[in-house]
A = this chain, B = another copy of it.
Amino acid sequence: MHAIGVDIGGTKIAVGVVDEAGNILAKVRRETVADDVADIDRAIADACAELTKEHEVGAIGLAAAGFVSPDRRSVLFAPNIAWREYPLAERVEALLDVDVPVVVENDANAAGWAEFRFGAAREATDMLMLTVGTGLGGAIVVDRELVRGKWGVAAEVGHMRVVPGGHYCGCGHEGCWEQYASGTALVRDARQAAIAQPERAGRLIELAGGDVAGLEGPHVTQAAQEGDDLAVELLATLGRWIGEGSASVAALLDPELIVIGGGVGAAGDLLLLPVRKAYEAQLSALGHRPVAQIELAEHGNEAGIIGAADLARR
């Protein structure tokens, strides 16, 4: 059975028809008005209508950045779109002229599910997926099932506390993992290093056009790939936090595979080797248990579409 997956961003949506092997057979995009939830509903329905003309689909999955109700019908809260206890599935169904069931999934869960079913974790039964981007998102698979939690808000991995009294987080707490293990943390550390140790930051500042405030993640990756000492160190620090936090998750869940997604994956082994080293160094009961593999995600931006479609089919 084919299914449609919809990845809903702040100002645009990407919609695709996905077959049972996880291939995207057709794909369309729509622009949306960020704060107009009815406009988003219409854009989704319109895109689905276009695709269902050519493709027969049995389900539609919507990947939304927010808290999703346990019945997979509503978005309870979203940080960047004005959904508050919003019956998204029902609204979209009402606008469709075909009778296809719609379900809503958290976007990080959808992306993680795509890796689990058709990507880096396709051979695994127990997976932790980390999406290292602006924040730190995640998905957890235990014994082949996605963990949604009692109220649908499991796998908010970025808010596990890793440093008491640590960096402030937008969530109102201190020391959240995503303050240490995200692209945002990488950039912030890079800028701070450029202030505190300007003599070591020459290449980074140069890549940023001479302005510390313009320093971004890809500059760090590029400098590191050129062998810049400070940039390598910054990626190693990011990797260390990813790995150490993952070891804490492993104490709880004993995963077989940890998948690292998000833009920082572009750094490749400059990130992955420090992640693995830190994970192993912190893993409890090392020597009495196998060590989980840690790999980069295989699906990039399309993971949300693929995962949402596949979850909708289940």
Contacts and interface: CB of A to CB of B under 8 A. Distances in A.
Interface of A: 67, 76-77, 124-126, 138, 140, 142-143, 145, 147-168, 171-176, 180, 188, 192-193, 195-198, 244, 247-249, 251-256, 280-282, 284-290, 292
Contacts of A143: 145, 147-148
Given A164-B165, A166-B166, A171-B196, 8 more contacts: A77-B288, A150-B256, A150-B292, A154-B254, A158-B251, A159-B251, A163-B166, A167-B167
A164 B161 contact: no
A21 B190 CA distance: 50
Main secondary structure on chain A at its contact with chain B? loop
Contacts of A150: 124-126, 254-256, 290, 292
Contacts of A247: 161
Contact of A253 (B149, B158, B174, B198): B149
Given A161-B247, A166-B163, A155 B252 contact: yes
B290 A156 contact: no
A22 to B, nearest CB: 23
A236 to B, nearest CB: 13
Nearest to A196: B172
B167 A285 contact: no
A222 to B, nearest CB: 22
B197 A156 contact: no
A114 to B, nearest CB: 20
Contacts of A148: 143, 254
B280 A156 contact: no
20 contacts: A67-B288, A77-B285, A77-B288, A126-B149, A138-B252, A142-B142, A150-B290, A154-B252, A156-B254, A156-B284, A157-B251, A157-B252, A159-B285, A161-B247, A163-B166, A172-B192, A172-B193, A173-B282, A198-B287, A252-B252
Nearest to A188: B168
The residue among A175, A193, A198, A284 with the most chain B CB atoms within 10 A of its own CB is A284
A151 B254 contact: yes
A161 B192 contact: no
Contacts of A166: 163, 165-167
Given A167-B166, A249-B252, A255-B150, A284 B159 contact: yes
A143 B160 CA distance: 21
Contacts of A281: 196-197
